[in-house]
Amino acid sequence: MTHPEENFDYYENICCEVSKEVNTDFIPMAPEIVQTSSFYFPTYEKFMDASDDEKNHYVYSRGTNPTTETLERMLAQLEGGEKCKVFASGMGAISATLFTLLQAGDHVLMVNTIYGEAVSFIQYMTKYGISADRVDVATTEDILNHLKSETKVIYFESPSSQKFELLDLDLITAIAKERGITTVIDGTWSSPLFQKPLAHGIDLVIHSLSKYIGGHSDIVGGAVIGATQLVDTIFEHGHQALGAVSSPFNSWLAIRGIRTLPVRMQHLSQAITTLLDGLAADTRIAKIFHPHCGNTDQQQLAQKYLTGYGSLFAIDLADESFDKLKVFVNSLSLVSIGVSWGGFESLALPAYKGNNLTNLQARGLSPAHIRMYLGLEHPESVLADIRQALDKAYGPMEEC
């Protein structure tokens, strides 16, 4: 019978020695998942050197990790930026970025409708002496009317959330550079393939990796991309202090998503025009919100900045009856009810939840406003599903 100490020695040898001796003479087709919290160092000197620059060395996966770094390099190249930092969620990227850029006495201007949690975070930051305004502008030039001497950040989406309005990126850059303002855009709607804000002088681009980049509704993640110095500062303060760290496996899933991103986005860009054209003449829909359906100015901005269309859009139903709205949404069959978007499945998300009318009015949204996402199903099938749900809630179109 062996002694417990001998068993422990044997176990210790397996855990500590065998893992260092695994044959690495192979090249995997897919990137490796380096699922580790910490890294070995052959010498004390190597450890000291790595610890002195954790942004560029593997010490602890809360900072950098080979799988996550692979994803960061891919995203930086796709977006045309010098560097990228990946986070555990889109809000992790947003929070870390604003946490780093702003200090007491600064003002941040939020333009048009942006992600609600981002608005809430910025407004919460006012407890630390930061001031914030969210404004709706008819034209990009109107931003000038809302700037203050203490404005340090312009934060926006283009196209915007809910209404999908485009802004003139070149003009925003010109306005901001003249005044030393940092510009931050959430570019999730268009993905890195269909719009290049950095090429037009925007300082930082944020993406939710949960959407098109992940592409399969199975990860939550975020990223910020821009100049090396700026991203490194966000890493040092926002990322390390707030701790929104992407797991290596989630980073690997995002890499998997990137490998099919062009094919998926090409399909969605074509499919969304088919769907929207099919809904355009339906009198039961008061308005469609999407650049494809925008006015002349919006069409010109789309032609200038977009190389394709995202498939997230919204509709305002002509009848604002809450009861009929519920019938419509519950009658959808192929289209599911759910938050987020960017995966295979088409989705519907009504803005009105029965108790948030004041909030909707403040955001300029109708109680019959529904955000919808066209997934990878055939657009004609989704169109048929929306029409049959409209029939059940509001009757056939000719009776309206």
| pLDDT tens, residue by residue, 183-218 | 999 999 999 999 999 999 999 999 999 999 999 999
Query: What is the H or E stretch that residue 267 is in?
Result: helix 248-279
Last residue of a domain, one of 239, 257, 275: 257
CA distance 316 to 306: 24
Per-residue pLDDT averaged across 67-73, rounded?
Answer: 96
The total number of structural domains that make up the chain = 2
Q: Which of 8-17, 292-301, 338-347 has the lowest mean pLDDT?
A: 8-17
9 is a domain residue = no
Specify the 3-state DSSP secondary structure of 183.
strand
Average pLDDT value for the chain: 93
Q: Which of 44-58, 79-93, 147-161, 253-267 has the lowest mean pLDDT?
A: 44-58
CA distance 30 to 8: 36
CA distance 251 to 36: 13
Confidence category of residue 400, pLDDT binned at 50, 70, 90: very low
> Are 314 and 350 in contact, with CB atoms under 8 Å apart?
no
Tell me, yes or no, whether 94 and 190 share the same domain.
yes
Question: What b/e sequence results for 232-254 when a residue is b if at least 16 CB atoms lie within 10 Å of its CB, and e otherwise?
Answer: bbbbeebbeeeebbbbbebbbbb
Tell me, yes or no, whether 99 and 183 share the same domain.
yes
> Are 288 and 279 in contact, with CB atoms under 8 Å apart?
yes
Tens digit of each residue's pLDDT (9 = 90 or more) over 326-367: 999 999 999 999 999 999 999 999 999 989 989 888 888 999
Judged against a pLDDT cut of 70, whether residue 283 lies above it is answered with: yes
Those residues whose C-beta lies under 8 Å from the C-beta of residue 251, and which sit 6 or more positions away, are 65, 67, 68, 70, 71, 86, 221
Give strand ranges (E) for the chain: 83-87, 107-111, 131-135, 151-157, 182-186, 204-208, 222-226, 285-289, 312-317, 336-337, 347-350, 369-373
Question: What b/e sequence results for 170-196 when a residue is b if at least 16 CB atoms lie within 10 Å of its CB, and e otherwise?
Answer: eebbebbeeeebbbbbbbbbbbbbbbb
Tell me, yes or no, whether 229 and 113 share the same domain.
yes
CA distance 207 to 79: 10
Q: Report the share of the chain in percent with pLDDT over 70.
A: 93
Per-residue pLDDT averaged across 77-83, rounded?
Answer: 97
pLDDT at 364: 87
Confidence category of residue 159, pLDDT binned at 50, 70, 90: very high
245 is a domain residue = yes
Last residue of a domain, one of 223, 257, 291: 257
CA distance 354 to 375: 27
